[in-house]
Amino acid sequence: MTAYIARPIPGPVLEELRTADDSGRPVVPVVDDEVGAPLRCCLRRSEPGERIALVSYAPLRRWAAETGADPGAYDEQGPVFVHAEECAGPEGEELPFTHAHRTVRRYSADGRIMGGRLVEDAAGFEAAFDEAFAGPAVALVHVRAVEYGCFLYEVRRP
């Protein structure tokens, strides 16, 4: 059994996103009164009264800047929720947001999409990651929400 770890948005990137997001827009924090927003900074759902922000994030672009890849047209950005201020990050190593259908999307080292897989329940994640990383050309995967297509977190080779 391989331990796959969900990677939240890194701290230095969060600092930037809390000032201006990847669309260049200033961040507008709000007090969460709806509760349950999937926070990509600490990989948990928001709680009543927390200050959160919805920001535009380009996960593949950020990864490409780190690795030197050029994702070309696969570069995309989309909305993610984060705490408006610094938080403690994830509390454990359990995979988050596994309660609903998710897509595990594979990427090569040069940033190209190499396919994906629908995961229908929490029990299917390990098999989806095993399948994805069985291909030597797969460098990382994104876990995304099916209903909105939003980026939830990244998993890299163990």
Over residues 116-136, the pLDDT tens digits come to 999 999 999 999 999 999 989
To which residue do tokens 């927003």 refer?
A: 37
The three-class DSSP label of residue 56 is strand
Is residue 102 within 8 A of residue 129, CB to CB? The reply is no
How far is the C-alpha of 6 from the C-alpha of 157, rounded, in Å?
A: 11
CA distances from 111 to 9, 10, 63, 89, 103 (A): 18, 19, 9, 26, 17
Residue 158 predicted with pLDDT over 60: yes
Helices (H), 6-143: 11-17, 59-67, 125-134
Query: By C-alpha distance, which of 81, 129, 82 is closest to 102?
Result: 129
Give the rounded distance of the alpha carbon of 4 from its chain centre: 14
How far is the C-alpha of 1 from the C-alpha of 150, rounded, in Å?
A: 28
Q: What is the pTM of this model?
A: 0.93
The pair phi, psi for residue 124, each rounded to 5°, is -90, -5
The distance between the two most distant Cα atoms of the chain, rounded to a whole number of Å, is 45
To which residue do tokens 């396919």 refer?
A: 115
pLDDT tens-digit series, residues 28-83: 999 999 889 999 999 999 999 999 999 999 999 999 999 999 999 999 999 999 99
How far is the C-alpha of 17 from the C-alpha of 13, rounded, in Å?
A: 6
pLDDT for position 2: 66
